[in-house]
Amino acid sequence: MSTNYDNQNSADLDEVGDNAIEAKETEGLSQGRIVFQKFLRHKGAMISIGVLAIVALFAFTALGVGAIPGWWQFTHTASGPVVNPGGAPTWSLSNIFSPGQHPFGQDEIGRDNFARVMKGTQISLVVMVIIGAVCLVIGTVVGALAGYYRGWIDSVLMRITDAFVILPVIVVGSILGVLVGGASGPMLGLALGAILWVGLARLVRGDFLSLREREFVDSARVAGASDFRIMFKHMLPNAMGVIIVNTTLIMSQAIVLEASLSYLGFGIQPPGISLGQLISEYQTSFATRPWLFWWPGLFIIVIALCVNFIGDGLRDAFDPRMKTIPSWRKMKKAERMAQKGAKR
């Protein structure tokens, strides 16, 4: 019992609050740092970031960007002599440390599959990032305005959302894909971004609708803040969680969507190159040259999976209800230790 109690200490009583457990977890950290630390603890997301970074590094350095040359000896267009019979990969599990000349194999006219997959990855990543950026900007601005001002801009946004509830994205995407006419990656990215922002806008709107009822917004208004300041200085930082998480998730959808469209022939078309387009081009040779099919598919999956996991890690990090996962093993161990200690 606290016998040495005196009134001078009474202010300390305040510290024992309802959120004692929470406070203990977050001692001395800013909101951003808490999120960041939680994110760092998410193993899946951390591994994914590593893998994605390596993939991107390879894709961009192997063939170079624009005029800058890469370190890989072949380009994605040049055909060369077929090394292994049928163009089979020179790299296999048995000689894993010597990738050889054509680690991913060659196609029927001797083009290097590694170079093609890297080039495809490059384009697919660019498309993905452009889609993400377009969605981020349009989605945030429209969603914020609709949620804050409501009124007509909100009605229009909701009707546009309705449109995407009655039509599959891939259908609209195909039509836009044909419209931009099998153009370059960036163009396709812009076109697809122009339809994928809707989901994000709706979520940002929802967040803003609830944020505008929060008392700190009133408090800022009473302090004399303008609408613009309230929206961007006060509300936006609080909506960052929703925005970042969902942009990530849109990007993971985007890479699969781009691949699907290119596969169907409405996205990137030859001589343009992307992962989906590669699969489309080589699907018939699955029985004879399976490596041409496996590698681009694998890269789509790895990229999408990584982005998904990063999104999941971000969501957990931003979710205030998400507590640190209690590790059962550690908990039991500590309990056993405690019991032992009690016996002694």
What is the full DSSP assignment across 236-269?
Answer: HHHHHHHHHHHHHHHHHHHHHHHHHHHHHTSSS-
Provide, rounded to whole angstroms, the least separation between the CB of residue 67 and another protein.
32
Task: In whole angstroms, give the CA distance from residue 197 to residue 246.
Answer: 10
Report the nearest approach of another protein to the CB of residue 70 (Å).
26
- CA gap 225, 135 in Å, rounded: 28
Least Cβ distance, residue 63 to another protein (angstroms): 23
Toward another protein, which CB reaches closer, 90 or 312? 312
Q: Please state the closest distance from residue 321 (CB atom) to another protein, in A.
A: 8
State in angstroms the smallest separation of the CB of 100 from another protein: 26
Please list, residue by residue across 61-97, b when 16 or more beta carbons sit within 10 angstroms of its beta carbon and e when fewer do: bbbeeeeeebebebbbeeeeebbeeebbbbbeeeeee
Report phi then psi at 161, rounded to 5: -60, -45
Nearest-angstrom CA–CA distance, 40 and 34: 10
Least distance (Å) between residue 254 CB and another protein: 12
224: left (phi over 0), alpha (psi -120 to 50) or beta: left
| Number of Cα atoms under 13 Å in the Cβ half of residue 122 | 21
Q: Which one, 106 or 253, has the nearer CB to another protein? A: 253
Q: Min. distance of Cβ 136 from another protein in angstroms?
A: 19
Rounded Cα distance between 99 and 89, Å, is 9
Q: 130 or 255, CB closer to another protein?
A: 255
How many whole angstroms separate alpha carbon 144 and alpha carbon 230?
11
Nearer to another protein, 126 or 303 (CB): 303
